[in-house]
Copies of this chain bind each other. A is one copy, B any other.
Amino acid sequence: MGARAPRPGVPVRGSESGRPVMAALDLLGRRWTMRILWELSQAPTGFRELQRRCERMSSSVLSTRLDELTGARLLTLHSDGYHLTPLGQDLVEALSPLDAWSQRWARETDNAAAED
């Protein structure tokens, strides 16, 4: 597998600096990555079930993402499916204000649309 997941300290796509946050933005900025973390924060989930929850995302990309996230030590696979590691749980928690923000975004977008 072309396991070339971004890691802190290693220069990544779009940044020569290797600054951790840039590696994080690279990893999270790939299609489905945040969605997968989001789904796994609800409950451990197997491969096929995860695919179902994500509106049948392609299995090839799911497999690639799971490799990347596992390589980044954010996931592990057990008998009951993929789990967030403590580090992965912290990431989801760091991302959680996004939920509240998105609701404000929705309200303001509605208001703006109503004004048009």
Contact = CB atoms under 8 A, between A and B. Distances in A.
Chain A interface SS verdict (over half): helix
Interface residues of A, number: 46
A72 to B, nearest CB: 8
A43 interface: no
Identical chains bound together, number: 2
Most chain-B Cβ atoms within 10 A of its Cβ — which of A15, A98, A110?
Answer: A98
Interface in A22-38: 22-25, 28-35, 38
Contacts of A94: 97-98, 100-101
A105 B35 contact: no
A73 to B, nearest CB: 6
A3 interface: no
A9 to B, nearest CB: 6
Interface of A: 7-9, 14-16, 20-25, 28-35, 38, 54-55, 57, 72-73, 87, 90-91, 93-95, 97-106, 108-110, 112
10 contacts: A8-B102, A15-B35, A15-B55, A20-B106, A24-B101, A25-B98, A29-B30, A29-B35, A87-B104, A87-B108
